[in-house]
Every structure is written in structure tokens, then in C-alpha cells.
Amino acid sequence: MAGIGSRATAMTVQLLSASNGVNTYLADSRVIGDGSTGAAIHIRAQNAVADLTERGETVRYPTVQVYCEKLVNGLTEKFRTFSGSVQMAAEIRCSQDRLQGLQEELEQCADAVTQVLDGNRGDWGSGMYYAGGYQVAFGAVKHGGKNYIQVAKVTFEMGVSIS
């Protein structure tokens, strides 16, 4: 199982930050009242709560934290080293100094992540594949970030079959 979670995370980060990734979908759909598009999403492989990341470094919002939540070696193919699933998470964080528009920005970012997933069903290489399907959970607005922060978590499952 060594490295499967790391490889799945790296593949997901690469997919979301590709030239046809999340920022491309946002550029097409997100226009602010003054006619400009919003800031690009910063994508990174990390599983850390917002409080800790803000204390350790400067964070630019919106951001997507990609990480592996769970590995399941179900041995569906009996003579493989790993034959099962990897549950991935893409945690989208949006922050601003006003409540107005925060929910809308978060929803647009979550839509962009799910559109990238929808457009990339199938073989991801290295024995990993994405059959489709995801779940999006929206959290409540909290104090943090640039004053207010809101988080949405997109979870999805990848199949893995490696020798």
C-alpha cells in the first residue's frame, strides 16, 4: 500500500490544476460585478485545518486542499497487491471580508471541481481509474481567513488495481 494515497493525491492535484482544470471552468463561469473574473484557485496537496495553515504561512483564497481520506484493499482481484478503492477529498475554502457573495463564490468553485471530475471519468493511469460519482458537503460560515471563511468538501472514490 506504500505510496498509493500519495500517488492518488498527486494525480488529483495534477488533474485539477491542468490547463483544462478548475481555473478554466471558473474563468468561463465566474464574473464579478465590475466585469472582472475572480482570483484563481490555489490547489495544493495537504490535509490541514484552515487555522493551522493560516498560522504557518500566507494563504491566498480561494484554495483547494486535496488529500486521501481512506484506502480500502478489498482484494477484489485475488492475486494483486492492491485491488480496491481510494477515497479522495478536495476541500474548497473561500474567504472574504463580507458575508455577501461568499456562498456564491464557494458554490462556483465547487461546481468547477465537479465539472473537472465529470470530464475525466475513466482510466487515470498507473492502475487508477475514476468511474464517476462524488458527494459535495457545504459547511457553515465561520470566523477565519480574511474575516469570514466557508468550506465545501468534495469526496469521490477511485478504483485501484496494481500488482
- Would strands 147-162 and 82-96 be described as parallel, antiparallel, or unpaired? antiparallel
Residue 160 CA to residue 2 CA, distance in Å, equals: 13
Q: What percentage of the chain has pLDDT greater than the value 90?
A: 66
Distance in angstroms between the alpha carbons of the first and the last residue of the chain = 10
Which helix (H) or strand (E) is 162 found in, with range?
strand 147-162
Query: Mind listing the pLDDT tens digit for each residue in 68-127?
Result: 999 999 998 888 999 999 999 999 999 999 999 999 999 999 999 999 999 999 999 999
Least confident range of 32-46, 60-74, 93-107: 32-46
Domain parsing of the chain, residue ranges: 4-162
The reported pTM is 0.89
Query: Taking 90 as the threshold, does the pLDDT of residue 56 lie above it?
Result: no
CATH code: domain 4-162 is: 3.30.70
Residue 128 CA to residue 140 CA, distance in Å, equals: 33
Residues 10-34 have a mean pLDDT of 81
Neighbours of 46 (CB within 10 A): 14
Radius of gyration over every alpha carbon of the chain, rounded to an integer in angstroms: 17
